[in-house]
Amino acid sequence: MSQKDNSGARNSGKEVIIVTGSSGLIGTSIIKRLSEKYRIVGLDNTGYPFPPKEAECVCYDITSEASIRAAMERIRYGYGDKITSVIHLAAYYDFSGKPSPLYEKITVKGTENLLRVLQDFDVEQFVFSSTNLIYKPTSPGQKISEDCPLEPKWDYPESKVDTEKVIREKRGRMKAVLLRIAGVYDDEGHSIPITHQIQRIYEKQFTSHFYSGDTSHGNVFLHLEDLVDALEKTVERRKTLPDEVAINIGEPETPSYQDLQETIGRLLHGQDWKTYEVPAPLAKAGAYGMNLFGDAFIKPWMIDRADDHYELDISRARTLLGWEPRHRLLDTLPTIIAKLKEDPTGWYKENDLELSAALAKEQEARKD
């Protein structure tokens, strides 16, 4: 089943790119960018929103090799056998941290199914969206290169490590690029850890003043526009890239948790946000308690990883892709928070956050 019939697309002269997970935030953005130069086909599950109008949507079930084969036969009919690049974004992700068989079924086996079917096509390049979380955490000032040890700590990054292995073994003649991507955000927020941290400080929640890890540690982030730039350059430079390569994609500086707390506090309330480090056992007990009486954002599993620190060495991306991020999270926070202040209800909705009763009442009063 497809969104539209692209009769004549085979002879349009543009090269073909397939984007899996095409209706997601990243998929939508890369389709809009690449559609100026390429013919784009989006693969996504039945029932998901259609990708942008710039792409044809072909529905499929990535857990079924037969379904993938049917989808690819539709692509063969409309576009031919030659595919310039497959940008593989589809994967399972659950921020709750709970184990799930879907990591194996969708991310690992689903990718294996896709690679098996692609062997019947002339595919020049396969691009996989991996994550920086596959690496062993480091310390402030110590950057992680692509050759550093891997130490995934939960199911999501573990599934990415397993899938990278599958790609190496099953890629056949396709060139493979493993993009190890930092946590993505944009001008609206659209990053679960960032938007929840903003929410806690905006609402002056008691828990916003406490952290169970070293506040000088932090995670590395990446603006969506910079990721789209990296993906575009990965496709453009496909002929000069090695047959198989991993590339870190992230901002070169990692803001600490304390940096974020102070910046968000100043932007929202005009003052640094006082933050106290709490011993992990006490923090974990508190998290268990909060989750007993509701679905609190802070989960006990997060306490175990609060000390993890990631800084990326992006010299390979500079050399091979000619890529350098143009944004920095600390510089973008004023834009994100300005949008929150302008329309709190809309910002909460955009970021899938629940408006507290007090805040909802305040917004209603402002309308009146």
Residues 100 and 56 in one domain: yes
Structural domain contains residue 339: yes
Question: Above 70 in pLDDT, residue 284?
Answer: no
Cβ atoms of 182 and 210 closer than 8 Å: no
SS3 at position 180: strand
Q: What is the mean pLDDT of the segment spanning 280-307?
A: 52
| pLDDT of amino acid 13 | 81
Structural domain contains residue 2: no
Beta strands in the chain (DSSP E): 16-20, 39-44, 55-59, 82-88, 122-131, 175-181, 183-185, 210-211, 221-223, 244-249, 276-277
Name which residue leads in pLDDT, 10 or 94: 94
Question: Above 90 in pLDDT, residue 111?
Answer: yes
Residues 22 and 135 in one domain: yes
Residues 207 and 146 in one domain: no
Residue 92 phi, psi (nearest 5): -95, 140
Structural domain contains residue 53: yes
Residues 266 and 168 in one domain: no
Q: What is the mean pLDDT of the chain?
A: 90
Min mean pLDDT across 70-79, 271-280, 327-336, 343-352 is at: 271-280
Residues 334 and 238 in one domain: no
Q: Which residue range is the domain that position 170 belongs to? A: 9-185+221-249
Question: Can you read off the two tokens belonging to residue 93?
Answer: 């992700």
Residues 88 and 118 in one domain: yes
| Number of structural domains found in the chain | 2
Residues 149 and 174 in one domain: yes
Residues 139 and 283 in one domain: no
Name which residue leads in pLDDT, 191 or 306: 191
The string of pLDDT tens digits covering residues 10-56 is: 546 899 999 999 999 999 999 999 999 999 999 998 776 667 889 99
Question: Can you read off the two tokens belonging to residue 237?
Answer: 């430079």
Residues 204 and 114 in one domain: no
Cα–Cα distance, 310 to 157 (Å, whole number): 14
Query: Per 3-state DSSP, what percentage of the chain is helix, strand, and coil (rounded to 5)?
Result: 45, 15, 40
Single pTM value for the model: 0.91
Structural domain contains residue 142: yes
CATH number at residue 72: 3.40.50.720
Residues 212 and 159 in one domain: no
